């Protein structure tokens, strides 16, 4: 069956068409600047990338462009829309309602709407994508795969904050965690690569990208993760502050004469490695700046690696040990220096890092020495494949 995987943001839409038996990606790409003007990218394995501008006044128009391209007589990969057996949607927030992927019935869509309050920037965009697909492909079954679902196995001691308990019971204030589809895929794949059963392992996954999170996966289940009520908590990220003393918010707001929402904007968009380095939110720019002698960029990179290592230490304690540490996402997959920098803190727990094996980008590899007590791996994440697998499994 061909599964169309859709990841819908407020002005962008990523898509992949995956043949579920072979798990081959038939085509993939991106619609950007939706509601503004519209830019389209289309890729097929082994073929030249196609890019053009097309008006995309809304997400329905964007999905129309995708479907037209997929079925194009010359450059398409399927003959007609009938060859799309199902659509899998990435959905950011499932609250406490969804601990696994689900078929998108009207009732489920309503429940996702109820979660909008918890993810005002993301869930409404995901819903727009669902409704657009429903309009264009009314008879194709759809499945929702939630970023938060994998973390629903966290125990209360991991997900409750030290706040008045009624904020949890009245408003759902708790740790939810994100990147769950990635943490789930990467931990399973790491166990496979090591020839072991994920249900028999303690794994720490470091998903390091523009947004970053660490997850403790104990016997295949998420037991703790660094993102919290929102994706703002945890590691220092591209532009997000990660963990700070909450008292700073009032203090700086008063000094700088900022409102609460202006302060939240600073924490989400102007902090993290961008704010610290004053250079960029992109680690490639920071690497270049450090190489050019920028001490602030070098310090920022140090701080980032130190924070990742601290979370790894904390999660090893949370699980009473660790068998494997896995790096994934833009930075985890591509930046050898970050992997090495994080591991330089972890010798005490039995990590024997293999600097030679680490010299690569974007491959599945073991980067610890064979005798290392704790294995270290790089596993490229594949959230789309995970979504396609869940979609097919649910429809069977
Ligand atoms: P997102 O959270 O937006 O999905 P990604 O997982 O794609 O982000 O990660 C994007 C980030 O990965 C970039 O901002 C960049 O900092 C980092 N990155 C990608 N390639 C490299 C590289 N070769 N070296 C260093 N950093 C890289």
Q: What is the pLDDT of residues 159-201, one digit of tens each?
A: 999 999 999 999 999 999 999 999 999 999 999 999 999 999 9
Q: What is the pLDDT of residues 309-344, one digit of tens each?
A: 999 999 999 999 999 999 999 999 999 999 999 999
- Ligand 1 site-directed mutation target among 12, 208, 331, 335, most atoms within 8 Å of CB: 331
Average of per-residue pLDDT across 242-253: 98
What residues are paired with 100 via a beta bridge?
none
CB of 230 closer than 8 Å to CB of 267: no
Among candidates 11, 77, 79, 10, which has minimal Cα distance to 42? Answer: 77
Mean pLDDT of the chain: 96
Among candidates 196, 233, 222, which has minimal Cα distance to 315? Answer: 222
Average of per-residue pLDDT across 288-296: 98
Q: What is the pLDDT of residue 358?
A: 97
48, with CB counted inside 10 A (0-12, 13-18, 19+), is exposed
Q: Which amino acid residue places its CA nearest to atom 12 of ligand 1?
A: 330
Q: Contacts by 300-306 with C-beta closer than 8 Å and gap 24+? A: 300/273, 300/276, 301/273, 301/337, 301/338, 301/341, 302/341, 303/236, 303/276, 304/235, 304/236, 304/273, 304/338, 305/338, 305/341, 305/342, 305/344, 305/345, 306/345
- Ligand 1 site-directed mutation target among 234, 239, 284, 333, most atoms within 8 Å of CB: 284
CB of 61 closer than 8 Å to CB of 55: yes
Tell me how far the alpha carbon of residue 78 lies from the centroid of ligand 1, in angstroms.
Answer: 32
Let me know if 243 is a catalytic residue.
no
Q: Check pLDDT > 90 for residue 48.
A: yes
Please tell me what DSSP assigns to residue 211: S
Average of per-residue pLDDT across 375-388: 97
Confidence of residue 9 (pLDDT cuts 50, 70, 90): confident
Tell me how far the alpha carbon of residue 184 lies from the centroid of ligand 1, in angstroms.
Answer: 20
Q: Check pLDDT > 90 for residue 120.
A: no
**Among the ranges given (119-128, 189-198, 209-218), the one the predictor scored with the smallest mean pLDDT:** 119-128
Q: How far apart are CA 90 and CA 5, in angstroms?
A: 8
- Ligand 1 site-directed mutation target among 14, 268, 283, most atoms within 8 Å of CB: 283
Cα three-residue angle 30-31-34, rounded to 5 degrees: 155
Q: What is the pLDDT of residues 224-238, one digit of tens each?
A: 999 999 999 999 999
DSSP notation for 163-176: S-HHHHHHH--S--
Q: Which amino acid residue places its CA nearest to atom 23 of ligand 1?
A: 334
Percent of the chain with pLDDT strictly greater than 90: 97
Q: How far apart are CA 145 and CA 68, in angstroms?
A: 25
What residues are paired with 145 via a beta bridge?
90
Nearest atom within ligand 1 for CA of residue 207: 6
Confidence of residue 10 (pLDDT cuts 50, 70, 90): confident
Average of per-residue pLDDT across 95-102: 96
Q: What is the pLDDT of residue 248?
A: 98
Q: What is the pLDDT of residue 230?
A: 94
Tell me how far the alpha carbon of residue 336 lies from the centroid of ligand 1, in angstroms.
Answer: 12
Percent of the chain with pLDDT strictly greater than 70: 100
Tell me how far the alpha carbon of residue 306 lies from the centroid of ligand 1, in angstroms.
Answer: 18
Tell me how far the alpha carbon of residue 386 lies from the centroid of ligand 1, in angstroms.
Answer: 20
DSSP notation for 217-265: EETTEEEEES--SSTTSSS--SS---S--THHHHHHHHHHT--HHHHHH
Average of per-residue pLDDT across 131-145: 95
CA 187, distance to chain mean position in Å, is: 14
Taking the CB of residue 115, how many other CB atoms lie within 10 A of it? 24
Nearest atom within ligand 1 for CA of residue 212: 2
Helix (H) or strand (E) holding 272: helix 272-277
Q: How far apart are CA 193 and CA 365, in angstroms?
A: 8
Tell me how far the alpha carbon of residue 71 lies from the centroid of ligand 1, in angstroms.
Answer: 32
Say which of 147, 218, 224, 390 is annotated catalytic.
Answer: 147
Q: Which amino acid residue places its CA nearest to atom 13 of ligand 1?
A: 282
How far apart, in Å, are the Cα atoms of 238 and each of 194, 241, 273? 31, 8, 5
Q: What is the pLDDT of residue 119?
A: 87
DSSP notation for 329-392: HHHHHH-HHHHHHHHTT-GGGTB-B-TTTT--SS--EE-B-TT-SBEEEE----HHHHHHHHHH
Q: Return the SS3 of 144.
A: strand
- Dihedral sign, Cα of residue 79, residue 80, residue 85, residue 88: positive
Taking the CB of residue 380, how many other CB atoms lie within 10 A of it? 18
Pocket of ligand 1 (CB under 6 A): 209-211, 238, 282-284, 287, 329-331, 334-335, 361
Q: What is the pLDDT of residues 358-379, one digit of tens each?
A: 999 999 999 999 999 999 999 9
Q: Which amino acid residue places its CA nearest to atom 14 of ligand 1?
A: 282
The predicted model scores a pTM of 0.95
């Amino acid at each position: 069956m061909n599964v169309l995987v859709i990841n819908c943001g407020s002005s962008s839409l990523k898509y992949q068409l995956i043949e579920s038996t072979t798990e081959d990606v038939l085509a993939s790409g991106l619609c950007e600047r939706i509601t503004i003007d519209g830019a389209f990218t289309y890729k097929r394995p082994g073929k030249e990338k196609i890019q053009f501008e097309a008006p995309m006044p809304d997400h329905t128009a964007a999905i129309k462009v995708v479907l037209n391209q997929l079925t194009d007589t010359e450059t398409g990969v399927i003959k007609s829309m009938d060859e799309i057996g199902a659509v899998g949607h990435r959905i950011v927030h499932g609250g406490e309602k969804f601990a696994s992927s689900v078929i998108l019935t009207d009732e489920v869509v309503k429940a996702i709407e109820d979660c909008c309050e918890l993810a005002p920037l993301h869930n409404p965009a995901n819903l727009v994508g669902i409704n657009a697909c429903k309009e264009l492909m009314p008879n194709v079954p759809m499945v929702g795969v939630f970023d938060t679902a994998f973390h629903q196995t966290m125990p209360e001691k991991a997900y409750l904050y030290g706040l008045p308990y009624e904020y949890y019971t009245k408003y759902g204030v708790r740790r939810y965690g994100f990147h769950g589809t990635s943490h789930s895929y990467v931990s399973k794949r790491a166990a496979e690569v090591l020839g072991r059963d994920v249900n028999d392992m303690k794994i720490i996954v470091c998903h390091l990208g523009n947004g970053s999170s660490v997850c403790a996966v104990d016997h295949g289940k998420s037991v703790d993760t660094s993102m919290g009520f929102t994706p703002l908590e945890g590691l220092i990220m591209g532009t997000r502050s990660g963990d700070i003393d909450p008292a700073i918010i009032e203090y700086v707001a008063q000094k700088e004469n900022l409102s609460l929402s202006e302060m939240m904007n600073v924490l989400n968009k102007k902090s993290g490695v961008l704010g610290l380095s004053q250079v960029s939110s992109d680690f490639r720019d920071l690497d270049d700046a450090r190489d050019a002698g920028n001490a602030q960029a070098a310090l920022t990179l140090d701080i980032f690696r130190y924070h990742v290592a601290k979370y790894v230490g904390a999660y090893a304690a949370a699980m009473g040990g660790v068998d494997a540490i896995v790096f994934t996402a833009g930075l985890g997959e591509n930046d050898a220096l970050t992997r090495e920098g994080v591991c330089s803190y972890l010798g005490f727990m039995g990590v024997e890092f293999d600097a030679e094996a680490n010299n690569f980008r974007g491959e599945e590899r073991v980067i610890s020495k064979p005798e290392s007590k704790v294995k270290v791996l790089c596993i490229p994440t594949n959230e789309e494949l995970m979504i396609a697998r869940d979609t097919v499994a649910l429809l069977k």
